[in-house]
């Protein structure tokens, strides 16, 4: 059995890729922005905020929840979503470290 592509990279590289993938759709970015803006859990009103069908919003929420950047609490008949502060801080640190790495401007001149 062959090695999967993710196995040749470090855990940190795979985590960066997973977080980037979760943020790689404008609907997911809009969901996160909305949750950050309201600064509380949102129960069911995301469909009213986004120009997307309920099924589409649900799929994007599933992607964000799977990576851990949001979490949902079941509050029948709804699920309430909010930012997972631990994972949010992790993502900020990971991307901050990545983008703060110095780049040599002379490399391609």
pLDDT tens, residue by residue, 47-95: 888 889 888 998 999 999 999 999 988 777 778 899 999 999 999 999 9
pLDDT at 1: 46
pLDDT at 108: 63
What residue segments make up the domains of the chain, in order of their start? 8-96
Domain spanning 8-96: CATH 1.10.10.10: yes
| Percent of the chain residues past pLDDT 90, beyond the cut | 54
Which ranges in the chain belong to alpha helices (H)?
11-22, 26-38, 46-49, 54-67, 85-100
**Antiparallel, parallel or unpaired: β 70-75 and 42-43:** unpaired
């Amino acid at each position: 059995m062959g090695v999967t592509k993710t196995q040749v990279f470090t855990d940190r590289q795979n985590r960066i890729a997973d977080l980037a993938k979760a943020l790689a759709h404008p609907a997911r970015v809009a969901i996160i922005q909305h949750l950050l803006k309201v600064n509380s859990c949102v129960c069911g009103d995301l469909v009213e905020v986004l120009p997307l069908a309920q099924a589409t919003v649900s799929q994007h929420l599933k992607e964000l929840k799977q990576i851990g950047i949001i979490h949902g609490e079941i509050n029948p008949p709804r699920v309430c979503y909010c930012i997972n502060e631990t994972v949010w801080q992790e993502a900020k640190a990971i991307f901050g470290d990545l983008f703060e790495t110095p780049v040599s401007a002379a490399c391609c001149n």
